[in-house]
Every structure is written in structure tokens, then in C-alpha cells.
A and B are shown apart, each in its own frame.
Chain A
């Protein structure tokens, strides 16, 4: 019963959205709105070479020709792209050389969020405690990246995207946009034009990254959008585990977050990418405010026997529009997608995955759990396709939806396209509500209704939680319970 006790304690101890504070710090903004000049401004701010600016401008021109997609099962007023700041950064004279130069206000933010930025603090912690390197992105810029030296010793490059463009242009030019092309979709195209920072990781051949890598995204500035770009390259036989977390202040206005994540896997490489998404979900009563989370994530398994695993816990955002995908190109490559999407209040989530089998003997597995409560809507949308050359392709998909309350909705929209006679696809989906019998059983044994719901929900999502790295799993379990607080009764 330890898990129950813990869940109950956290629910009692925490407010509904504990990361909703704002921080007043001196910030620099680009002028409001979006134009070619803003793209040039961002590029100039980041001291980028000409090729990068050209790339951005081409993306911007293409974006002007694209139409905003409307097929997702989400409703929101039309976004005014001119009414937002595309660049907001804490003002500094030069980029901070070390942690000591970072604005103490910012450090305080991360301390409040529980993100360890000081290496010595991490090292001074409990012996044997897991260590992980962090790239902290604050609005449009990366403020600090930890453990760079230690990682460099084994050849791992872990830095902000701006730094990578300056220091490792050959790698960036080779891989940037090779998985998610600039004109892939409306939001990816917008991101390509105005992305401001993000993380860059390169793991050399045969190296197993000695620690977990992570990025922590924080939106702070008002009326600003966050557009980060992450690129991870796992060379032959390399391995890395990457964690991503995100939070934002509570505001009445909606803010846009349109990120692109590209993963490149060469022969025998493996990447495990975990996300705990906890953007501000908007006011639970009125639905006002919250983040629009329109994200494109894709992994390209170029090498034979490469393996990618996406795990996501989606509890935040007013609107989520996100389909982490795997392009299984290499022979025998495999992709996994484990997802928990919790919606409450007025949240809307349209999320799922794409498994595109191009190579022979490729395998994929999808486990998606959706929980809807309040007046929210949760949709699983997924594509599994096998090319005629993908002989021996194998997919297993399981999507389960749990409904809590009369006013929520849960949808399942899977697409399956099989184009050869030697592959096997299995898909199963269920939609049910929390079982009265089980709730009654728990309550009979002295659990309150809230505790019983938390216990049953934890059981429902257990398959996915088990895939998360240890520290994240505990965090995620608490988050799921908190997100559903007050949903029954």
C-alpha cells in the first residue's frame, strides 16, 4: 500500500498546478509578430552563419504558403501568429560561461522546480543516487548545460542547439531537417523558421552514454511562444537515454509551444526518449489559458537493428497535438511507443504515433493509455504502415481509454495500411469507465473515493509507467494522480 499512501499524500500536499508561478527577470524580446525581419533578428541574435539564416528564411517562405491543419479532434479559436513574441531571452551581456554567471533568479526557478543544475549539488547528493546531465531551456534560450566536460571525456557532445550550430556545423548541417524536413507540416515549418534553441546530442560509435541526458523546458515570458529544436544523433552501436520535462506559468492567455525533435539512429544504435509533459493545462473550471502544445517528434532508424523507444506522460497543455513517430528504415530495426495521456478540466489531447515500416523484419509496439475526466477530450490517433519491402514486419498495438465522468470524451482513430503479404499487424482497443465493482471493493476496505480512483488509475497505466526511468516514474505517478484530482463525485 506504499504507493497508495504516497499518492494520497502528494494529492493532499500539492496544489493543482504547482509550477504555475512566474518569475520577474530582465528579459529581452524580439518585437511582437512574425516576419522575415524577425527571422533575421533571431538568427542575428544567435550569431548564426549565413547557411542557417538561409535555411530559416526558406522555411518561413514555405510556411506562408501552408495552411493550418484542421483534421485533429481539437477546437480552439484561430491563432493570431502576429500577436506573439517569437524570441524572449533573459538579458545577459554575453552567454554565461559558467553556472556562476547565470542569473540567480533563473537558478532559483530551477531550484523551485526541483531541477539540479549545480553539478556539485548533484554529486554531493546521496551516494549512488542517479546522476543526469541537464540542458535548461528558459523561454527562447538555453541557460546552462551541465556535465559537459564529463560527457566530452567519452566523446559525447551535449550542448544547446545554438552552440552546436557554432561549434559543430558539419554535424548540424548533415542532420538538421533530415528527419523532419522544413515543410513537413505547418507547425514544424514554423519551428524551422523561428526556432531559438534546444538540445543537441551526438553519441559517437560504440559509446554508451554514461548518464541520463535531459532537457528542461520552461516558458516564463508573457505572450511568447516557445519553439525549440532538439536533434539527437546516435552513431553506430551508441546508446543514450534522454528525458524531457516542461512547465509554464498560469496565465489567462494561451501560449504556443511548437517544438521539433529529430532522432537519428545508425546501425545498432538505441535511443530511449522519455517525456513528462506538464505544461499549464488552463483553468480547470473555465478552460481559460494554457499551452497549445503542437509538437513534431520523429525518429529515423536508418541503421540496421537500431532501436528507438518513445515514452510519454502527457498531463498538461490546454491542447496537445503530438505524434512521436518511428521511421523503421534499417533492416531489423524496432520502434516502441508507450503513452499515458491524462486530460481533465477543459483539456483536449489528440495524440498517438506513427510506425512506418520500410525495412525487412522491422518490429513495432504501441501501448497507449488515455484517461479522460471533467469536460476533456482525449483522442488516440495512430498510423501503422508497412511498405511492400517491409517483409516480416510485425506490429502490436494496444490502446485503452478510461472515462471518468459523464461529460468527457475518448476517441480512438487508428489507421492501418498493410502492403505486403508477410507482415503481421495486431490492434486492439477498449473504452470503459472505472469499474464500479472495483471502486466499491477499494472503498469497502477503507480507501476514500479519491484514493481508490488513484489506485485503480495507477493500475491502469502501470504498463507504461514501468517503461520510464526510475526518477521519472515516481514523478509521473504523482502527476497522473494530481491531474485527476477532483474528477470523481
Chain B
């Protein structure tokens, strides 16, 4: 039941629908009545990506085809998925192996530079013993696009994996991350920001499976929806039998700025071991009227005050990004999306 199977086989019934528990808020079968044709190869110029100034190495996929890039998985690497063909479908697979002890900053961008495409990206990331990965995912899709990004991450003992998703949504969009956490002093940080307007939809789904003792997971997702947008957060932390001393925290906090917008959340904890400390928090609400009133009293127009407050709200997630350059780009992206001066 995946988009990639449907794209491969042309079988629409392989698309996940509302009847699939894990896709209840991200219905693809109801939306996608006809599969668009496969995107053609692109032979022209490729515009520069958002992380061009930071990365020394670039791996680029255009219309689902790999264009350039070395097999390097250390240092600062840009990974770009560019859609340049209108109303076409594209699928890409990519695997990264980070060797023990190496450090990788993966600056991933999904650049929708055409209208109404259907895109599927599957990533496999293996992080070796004691290695460290920070993955920043900037997703800027077209308003009519459908995009599913699925990453399967395998961690070795002592590995560190940190991830921050920044997305403005699409017609239907799902960023799914599945992490196999061995415990064994491996650490995971899984963050996300979604800022949605119009009729955009964004689904952030995460599954972290703790298989061994002494694992840490910290998750924080914040979002804002306006107009008729819909934000979805599904977080699942599984602590397998024997995975004692697991410390897992999950937080999802969201703002609804319109009466026609929607947020659906399902923060799950599935615990099969007893010596654990697991918690999740979920809050959904509007901006604080008193804070807006305070700002207006001091001469700040209402729209600006709302933008300021929203920037501050999601700022907590942006600040957790460790790579300085990426953090600055993320902060600028948030400010631009919310129309707030930086």
C-alpha cells in the first residue's frame, strides 16, 4: 500500500486510502484518480538549490533521475530532489551509508519547480557505530503536487541522528521517517515545522522503534495552519520487550489560525518494557489574544503581531538545529513563509 508501488505497477488500488489506519488523514486513493505519465529526462540547466552555499558536495535528482553526485556520506552534503516536469510522475530511491565514526550533515531539499506533479522518494540511511548525522529537510512543493518522502533509518550502537523537517505542504504531502533505534547509547532527535496556508496539506509521520537498552529519543514538532489547510502529525514510539532505560519524549504543538483549517494528531506510545520513561504532549489552539492585544497596543499591526508570535512559536524547533548555516537558512525560510521581517 504505497505510492511507489502504484507508480511502479500503475495499479491505483495500491494507493493508501482512508481505510488504512496509518493513512486515515492522508488519503491518496480518493484524490488520485489517474496516474500522470512518467516525467521525461531533463537536459537543460538546473537552478541552484537552497543550500548551494553550504554544501561542498551535491547529489541531484531531477524528475526522479539521478544527475550528478559522488558516493560521499561525510562532511556537508546537499541532496536535492527537483521536479521540473509539469503534471508528471517521478520516483527516486537513494541509499546512504555513513561509516562508523563519520559525521554527516545532510541538507536535503525537495524543490517543486513545476505544477501538479506526483513524486515519491524513498531513502535508506544506515548510520554506523558512533557516527553522527544531522539531516535538514526543506520541502517546498507546488500547491497542486502530491509528494511522499519515506526514509528508513538504521542506527548502530552509539550513533547520533538528528532531523528537522521544514515544510509548507502540498495538495497532499507525507514526510515519513522510520527509525530502527538499537538503544545502546544511540541518540535520536526528530523535529519538524509545518507552515500551511491555502488548501495545503502536510503529514509528518514518524515511527521510532527502540530495540535495546539505553536509548534516547527526543521529538518536537510545531506547526501552524491557516485558511483551509490541514496539518497531520502521527508520531509513534515503540519500546520493544527488553529495551529498558529508554528515555523517549514527544511533543507536538500547533496553532490553528482559521476556522476552516484542521489539525489531526495521533501521538502514540507502545511500550513493552517496564523500566522506561516515556511521555508525550500535544496541544492545539489559537494564538493568545492577550499577546496580540499587547503587541497592538504598542503599535504593531495585527498581521505583523501574529507573524511575530508564530515565528517565536516555531522558533524553538529551528533553534534545535545544530549546523549554524542550516539554522540561518531555516530561520530565514520561516520568516519568509510568515511574512515577518528577520
Contact = CB atoms under 8 A, between A and B. Distances in A.
B335 interface: no
Nearest to A379: B270
A26 interface: no
A76 to B, nearest CB: 19
Contacts of B266: 413-416
B224 to A, nearest CB: 11
Contacts of A388: 259-260
29 contacts: A71-B21, A388-B260, A404-B274, A406-B241, A410-B271, A411-B269, A414-B268, A414-B282, A415-B264, A415-B266, A416-B263, A417-B262, A417-B264, A418-B262, A418-B284, A419-B261, A420-B259, A421-B258, A421-B261, A423-B286, A424-B286, A426-B283, A427-B267, A427-B280, A427-B283, A431-B271, A431-B278, A432-B276, A433-B274
A429 interface: yes
Contacts of A159: none
A428 B280 contact: yes
Nearest to B287: A421
A412 B286 contact: no
Contacts of A406: 241-242, 273-274
Nearest to A407: B241
B268 A413 contact: yes
B293 interface: no
A416 B279 contact: no
Q: Give the secondary structure class of A's interface.
A: strand
Given A416-B284, A424-B284, 18 more contacts: A71-B21, A406-B242, A412-B280, A414-B282, A415-B265, A418-B262, A418-B263, A422-B286, A423-B256, A425-B284, A426-B282, A427-B281, A427-B283, A429-B279, A429-B281, A430-B279, A431-B277, A433-B274
Interface string B236-251: 0000011000000000
A405 B274 contact: yes
Residues of A in contact with B, size category: 35 or more
A293 interface: no
| Most chain B CB atoms below 10 A, which of A71, A409, A421 | A421
Interface of A: 71, 388, 391, 401, 403-433
A-B pairs, top 4 by smallest CB distance, nearest first, are: A403-B274, A424-B285, A427-B282, A425-B284
Interface string B290-304: 000000000000000
A405 B276 CA distance: 11
B71 interface: no
Given A421-B286, A424-B286, A433 B279 contact: no
Contacts of B260: 388, 420
Residues of B in contact with A, size category: 35 or more
B275 interface: yes
Contacts of A416: 263-266, 282, 284
A429 B235 CA distance: 13
Contacts, number: 113
Given A424-B286, A429-B280, A414 B267 contact: yes
A412 B269 contact: yes
A407 B267 CA distance: 23
A411 B268 contact: yes
Contact of A419 (B262, B269, B282): B262
Contacts of A419: 261-262
A367 to B, nearest CB: 15
Nearest to B254: A418
Contacts of A415: 264-266
A19 to B, nearest CB: 29
B191 to A, nearest CB: 19
Contact of B274 (A71, A408, A422): A408
Contact of B271 (A401, A417, A418, A426): A401
Contacts of B277: 431-432
Given A411-B269, A413-B268, A431-B271, A425 B276 contact: no
Contact of B269 (A420, A425, A431): A431
B257 interface: yes
A411 B242 CA distance: 16
Contacts of A410: 269, 271
| Most chain A CB atoms below 10 A, which of B21, B242, B284 | B284
Nearest to B24: A415
